[in-house]
Chain A
Amino acid sequence: MEQTPFLNRRETILEVRGLKKSFGPKRVLNGVNLKVGKGEVLVILGPNGCGKSTLLRCLNLLEKYQEGEVALRGEVISRGRPEGSGLSRQDRAVECAMRRHFGMVFQRFNLFPHLRVIDNVMSGPINVLRMPRDEAFEVARKALCKVGLWEKHPCDPLTLSGGQQQRVGIARALAMNPDIMLFDECTSSLDPMMTKEVFMVLRELASEGMTMLVVTHDLDFAREIGDRVVFIENGVVSAEGTPEHIFEAKPTPGVRALIEGSLYETRLSRA
């Protein structure tokens, strides 16, 4: 199948089946199905408010969803639950353990401002993996080197530029050695220069075989980094395929609106 070239070559690492999520009466995701290959970079596009962030947050249970399930390497790691059902202590522990499969990078970085850069990156290994300090330090050093920021390790995070903060955010997630990285508009509060520097980090991660789900509004970014693109609309995946397929060969009306919107924005910003 020409539409999903990557999946045919690689084993599926993540599968989302029939995921439904409502906020109160408002249905946001209405049966999302998704397969992600190991080492694949999947770009998630869609109009504002279509539920892209919500989808990522459901994957690592920052949001609970009501129906469907998520499987990692064929093993179900979370299931929808009817609203209002309580969690036992054991459920909570399982939830914490399952979040470790995912590394999350936030739009607004969410670094811990009261901890130095190195302590931000060490916070997961020390508190969650219970690593001894020197071992965690080594892990954090490697992660910071990977994003090219080792020399900033003793700094306070808020003294760094946005691009640097985001790279620390990536290092902090990498230090937990996740199976899949989730990026939620990780460059949309950055200027073009800083976007570039974060982009380089993402590309290097991709070349090392990291599986990544990337939510973005930046179509160039999507084109350059995505192995495959899914377009979410009205709570479901309405189109998917390679970037060429989605953008040039067969853009759906929704995709076309997005392309035109972004052209319009570019023109505005140039004017």
Chain B
Amino acid sequence: MLRAAGATLLLTAASMPLAVVFGLALAAMRISHRRMLSWPAATYIEVIRGTPLLVQLFVVYYTLPQLGNYLQTDLLPRIGVCLETNPLTWNNWAVGIFCLSANYAAYEAEILRAGLQAIDPGQREAALSLGMSERQAFFIIVLPQAFRVVVPPIINDLIAMLKDSCLVSVIGVPELLFKANGIGKARATVAQMLTVAAALYLTLSLGGYALGRLLEKRLSIRGAPELHVDQPHGH
């Protein structure tokens, strides 16, 4: 059971960073003034956010191997490439991680976009006026500040993902819910096992919150307006 909790943790730990990196690329595209970039990003974000994760899981799990078969037996041989195995016979873990990160990327993109747009344009201008390139202004000046703004909502999503990751049990990834159900059925103790699973999910979530608080503290900027919480008030 603890091993299964570890699997849930691993699933989340692998998917979330991917989601953030992919989300950042999406957010940058979405903000871009070039239609060629912003339009596909916007479409992707809306489609992902407008369909259930469970459906996305099934679509990827069942259609990609077919696409792989087609590649292997039809398309690639025709252009002179022969493969011995299906390039897209994904194992369950890969599909799980892929779907979770592709799904959450859309949400993280929106968070990052809001975070980037919350940074005063004067920051970019000050950087440019020193002679920095757009790229330097973005990575050295704007992104680190936006990062601070987006940490709390991203940690929230991390906790949500911890819980959403139970959906990948439907494609047979042996994570917490999958195991709890399996063990419970085998020993006819489904209710107890599920309660234990719930307790473990709760523990993991609380761990996530603690991590969030810690990060928020570490990243805070002294003198920044949001932090003036201890202003003396008259009684």
Contacts and interface: CB of A to CB of B under 8 A. Distances in A.
Contacts of A124: 130-132
| Residue of A97, A99, A108, A110 ringed by the most chain B CB atoms within 10 A | A110
Nearest to A129: B131
A106 B126 contact: yes
Interface stretch (A12-20, A154-162, A215-223): A154-162
26 contacts: A60-B129, A62-B125, A96-B132, A99-B128, A103-B129, A104-B126, A108-B122, A112-B127, A113-B145, A113-B224, A114-B145, A114-B221, A123-B132, A123-B140, A124-B131, A127-B132, A127-B136, A128-B131, A157-B223, A158-B222, A158-B223, A158-B225, A159-B222, A172-B126, A173-B130, A176-B131
Range for the number of chain B residues in contact with chain A: 20 to 34
B84 interface: no
Interface of A: 60, 62, 92-93, 96-97, 99-100, 102-104, 106, 108, 110-114, 123-124, 127-129, 156-160, 172-173, 176
A62 B133 contact: no
B144 interface: yes
B136 A159 contact: no
A62 B129 contact: yes
What are the nearest 8 A-B pairs in CB distance?
A158-B223, A110-B126, A124-B130, A159-B223, A104-B129, A128-B131, A110-B122, A100-B131
B230 to A, nearest CB: 14
Nearest to A103: B129
A123 B130 contact: yes
Nearest to A124: B130
